[in-house]
Each structure stands twice: as structure tokens, then as C-alpha cells.
Chains A and B, each alone.
Chain A
Amino acid sequence: MRTIEYDTIVETVARLCIEACYNLEEDVLGTLQKAIARESNKQAKQILTQLIDNARIAQAERIPLCQDTGLTIIFVEQGADMAVSHPNDRPKATLFDAIQEGVAIGYERGLLRKSVVTEPLHERTNTGSNTPAIIHHSIAPGDNLHITIMAKGGGCENKSQFRMFNPTESKETVAGWIVEVVNQAGANACPPFIIGIGIGGDFEQCCLISKKALLRSLDSKHPDSFYAQMESELLATINRLNVGPQGLGGDTTALAVLIETAPCHIASLPVAVNIECHSHRHKSAVL
């Protein structure tokens, strides 16, 4: 059994939070560059260029890419043959405690905005630490610890939707609804978007895989040719909506459509659309 130091996990999570909010991923930058070359609307071209300028300023001058540094979502894949050491003063602290501590430290040290409130409907007091982060944990063979953090903005998350279809529904009907969800998100959710789609699973797994889909490289294709084709058809249809960057028109409403699927009940066809803004912030590390 391999042991990873508690403090190593804390520091890694803190670093990933900061890096995600200051450095835009290369695949996003590359996709924006390609979109500029393809875009026929002059104002849209100008906005896409400003988004690349924004990323350059963020990195060079150490200013977060966006003021909404998000709710922190953590995907952690724990090797079955690894364990976490306990800090001397807290013998009962777990992997999850280390992750939460790392988020709190990262948001403080990185001068990131704390955007989490204690409860949703009554007082809405800010927790002051951007915790609790949402942790999705899984077990894998081996003795590594894979940590991925995503800083998910509120504006785009607010426009995400879920729907249960009849299992006999066609691909075209499902696709039509997905396009309508994106159209409704429009200017409010900071286009150009990355569209994460979950198809299958149950109520909560469907939403979870729609978010996990966002972690794929924007250049990647679904391994199943049926869904790969659906991704490219959806992207083409969405980019004909003329929502455009910032909702001001143009050929670039989405940068990528990414589908994840899961087995589901014979009676069900759940579909979730997780809208992600162009400021697509995520970083991973393997310990």
C-alpha cells in the first residue's frame, strides 16, 4: 500500500485551483484561434480576439481570467492500493479534508473570489473560503491519485438543463432539444460555449457525466462513431444559430460539443446539457 502525504494533496489542490483560474488551457486557446480564422462576422472576430487577449493578460499580469472563479468541482480517482497519511494534529482527517483544505488555501492565496454560500434559500451567508467544493470520488486499479479541478462559473451553470425523454425518442428529437437549450442560454451564459452532454444513466448520473464530458480535450471525438457524428452535427447546427460570441451574432456559438454516455433503464432516456462558458478552467495532476 502506497502512502501519499496529506500536505502534498493540500498543496496540489491549492496549486491546481490557482493555475486553472490564471492559465487558459492550450486546447481552448487553439480552438479560439481556429474560430477566429473561420468566423465571418467582423465584430465576432474582434470579440474572439479580445478573449485571447484576456487570456494573455491573465497569464502575464496574474489577474484571474474571469471574476467568477467558480464553484470548485473536484474529480478524484483514487488508486485502490494507495492511502493518505494523517496529519499529526488530526489523526482522523481524510482525503476529502485534504481536498477541502487545498481549495480554501488556493482561493485565499490565489486572490480568487469566494462564491459559495452556506445554504441556498434563507441567509445565503458566504462561507468565506469557497468551500465546500463538490467532490466526485472514484476508485481505480493501481496506487496513483488523479486529481482534476474545475472552476465552474455560475452564469453558464444556471443555463444547464436536464430532461427525461421516452426511450423510443429519435436522435433528431434529442438533438433538437439540446440545440434549443443552447439557444436559450444565449448571451447570458458567455458564449462561445463548450457543451457537455450526458445521455443515459439515471437522474444524477446523467448530470454528472454531462459535466465529466467537459474534461475531454476540445479536439477529441467520441470513440463511438455514432456519437462522434452526433457531436459534429450538433456543433454545426449550434454554430448556425447566430448567437455568436457574447450573443452579438456570428458563426462561433460553441467551440465544442462533447458527449458522454452511460447504460440506462429500459424505460428511460435521460439527457443533460451542461453549458460551459469560453473561460473553461480545469487542471489535473497525478500523484
Chain B
Amino acid sequence: MSKEIQIETPLTDGQIDTLRAGDQVRINGIFYTARDQAHKRLCALIETGQELPVDLSGQVIYFVGPTPAAPGRCIGSAGPTTSSRMDAFSPILIRAGLKGMIGKGYRGEPVRKALQQYKAVHFATLGGAGALLSKHIIDAEIVAYEDLGAEAIRRLYLKDFPAVVAYDAFGGTVYDR
């Protein structure tokens, strides 16, 4: 088990160059949430040459649909959803400037290729530990697609968010066994 690496978002190419599959990281800074339906809408906009509701250049998307926030809290339970459901969409977003994603589980070959070609990284975090992970989210605000409810795009501010580099920008993966 390697030492934890501190990461700030937005991600730079220099930072991505240093990350290898299996590295344990703590992430600080802004993340955007998006799941299936938000991905579908974002990619439809890109493919028809329209402007996105959020600028994703250099940004990181967290695949999450949180529970409603209790009074006095910014978010409810907020763990990752299955990454592979976003496989059809992620290469399009990576080509448009997305630099990182965080979810749980495997990514397909087109995503792995896009990570290498455009220098981006995919992190995995603790599936089924939404209560614990919510403690590392200190701000949350809906910025697009409010009609999607839990699936709306939120801007999150993360503090010491625990994750592991699941797929690096050099073709490496933590899941080879």
C-alpha cells in the first residue's frame, strides 16, 4: 500500500503525469456530479455543437446521486455509482477537456484509451460508504439540470476525499489481477 498523495482540482497535466494506478490519494477542491441522464444530455450538447451548462475543462466529475440533505447539511449520503454505465459517454467528455472522473468499478477499453490520448485519470472511491464519504463534502450547489433531482449536476467542494487511482494516463489499472 502506497502513501497517500494530496491532490488539488482542477487537475493539471503535470499532476496527472505523476499518478499511477494503485496510488492512494486525498482530493481537495471542486468536483461536478453527473450520472447517467446528465451524461446523456451533456454529450448530446457536445455532439450538436452547443455550449455546456458547466465548463468541464480541467474538471473532475464524480458519478453520484446523493440522498437529500438533512437540515443544516450541504448533502446527504454521497457514495459513488457504477462507472461502467458512463462508458459510452466519458470519452466524449474527455475529448471536450474533462481531466478526471471518480466512481466505482471497471472502465471499458474506449475510456482507457481516451485517458491515455488526452491525459486524464479515473479514480475509484468507496462504494456503499456514502455516509463516510459525505463527511468529506463541505459544499454542494445544484448548477444544472435541477429537474433530474438526485441526478442533477452539482458543484461540490471536497476536502481530503479518499480515493485510489483506478486507471492512470499510461494504460495502467488497479484492477488487473
Write out the residue numbers on chain B whose beta carbons fall within 8 Å of the beta carbon of A243.
Answer: 177
**Nearest CB in chain A to that of B134: its residue:** A63
Is A83 in the interface zone, CB < 8 Å from B?
Answer: no
Contact B76 A64 (CB under 8 A): yes
Given contacts A64-B67, A187-B124, A278-B128, 19 further A-B contacts (CB under 8 A): A42-B1, A43-B1, A46-B1, A50-B129, A51-B128, A53-B132, A66-B77, A66-B130, A67-B76, A67-B77, A67-B78, A111-B70, A112-B68, A114-B150, A187-B175, A189-B82, A246-B104, A246-B124, A246-B127
Tell me the residues in window 81-137 of chain B with beta carbons closer than 8 Å to chain A beta carbons. Answer: 81-84, 104-106, 124, 126-132, 134-135
Q: Chain B nearest CB: distance from A275 CB in Å?
A: 12
Q: Determine the main DSSP class of B at the interface with A.
A: loop
Contact A65 B76 (CB under 8 A): no
**Nearest CB in chain B to that of A111: its residue:** B68
Point out the residue from A57, A68, A114 that lies within 8 Å of B135, measured CB to CB: A57
Contact A155 B67 (CB under 8 A): no
Per-position contact with B for A138-160: 1 when CB-CB < 8 Å, else 0? 00000000000000011100100
Is A47 in the interface zone, CB < 8 Å from B?
Answer: yes
Tell me the residues in window 20-39 of chain B with beta carbons closer than 8 Å to chain A beta carbons. Answer: 37
CA distance A242 to B174 in the complex (A): 13
Q: Chain B nearest CB: distance from A231 CB in Å?
A: 23
CA distance A113 to B152 in the complex (A): 13
Contact B126 A67 (CB under 8 A): no
Is A252 in the interface zone, CB < 8 Å from B?
Answer: no
**Nearest CB in chain B to that of A158: its residue:** B82
Question: Contacts A114-B149, A115-B150, A246-B124 hold; do A67 and B67 have CB atoms under 8 A apart?
Answer: yes
**Nearest CB in chain B to that of A126: its residue:** B149
Q: Chain A nearest CB: distance from B67 CB in Å?
A: 4
Is A277 in the interface zone, CB < 8 Å from B?
Answer: yes
Is A216 in the interface zone, CB < 8 Å from B?
Answer: no
Contact A50 B66 (CB under 8 A): no
Is A69 in the interface zone, CB < 8 Å from B?
Answer: yes
Contact A155 B81 (CB under 8 A): yes
Point out the residue from B37, B82, B131 that lies within 8 Å of A61, measured CB to CB: B131
Write out the residue numbers on chain B whose beta carbons fall within 8 Å of the beta carbon of A277.
Answer: 127-128
| A-B residue pairs in contact (CB < 8 Å), sample of 9 | A63-B70, A64-B77, A68-B79, A114-B149, A187-B106, A187-B175, A188-B83, A189-B82, A242-B177
Tell me the residues in window 39-71 of chain B with beta carbons closer than 8 Å to chain A beta carbons. Answer: 64-70
Point out the residue from A69, A153, A187 that lies within 8 Å of B105, measured CB to CB: A187
Is A106 in the interface zone, CB < 8 Å from B?
Answer: no
Is A196 in the interface zone, CB < 8 Å from B?
Answer: no
CA distance A53 to B162 in the complex (A): 14
Point out the residue from B1, B37, B66, B105 that lies within 8 Å of A67, measured CB to CB: B66
Contact B104 A155 (CB under 8 A): yes
**Nearest CB in chain B to that of A187: its residue:** B105
CA distance A69 to B130 in the complex (A): 10
Is A171 in the interface zone, CB < 8 Å from B?
Answer: no
Question: Contacts A43-B1, A126-B149, A186-B105 hold; do A64 and B131 have CB atoms under 8 A apart?
Answer: yes
Is B158 in the interface zone, CB < 8 Å from A?
Answer: no
**Nearest CB in chain B to that of A41: its residue:** B1
Write out the residue numbers on chain B whose beta carbons fall within 8 Å of the beta carbon of A53.
Answer: 129, 132
Is B19 in the interface zone, CB < 8 Å from A?
Answer: no
Write out the residue numbers on chain B whose beta carbons fall within 8 Å of the beta carbon of A54.
Answer: 126, 128-132
Per-position contact with B for A221-262: 1 when CB-CB < 8 Å, else 0? 000000000000000000000110011110000000000000
CA distance A54 to B69 in the complex (A): 17
Point out the residue from A50, A69, A113, A155 that lies within 8 Å of B82, measured CB to CB: A155
**Nearest CB in chain A to that of B64: its residue:** A67
6 closest pairs, A vs B, by CB? A188-B105, A64-B77, A58-B131, A190-B127, A63-B131, A54-B129
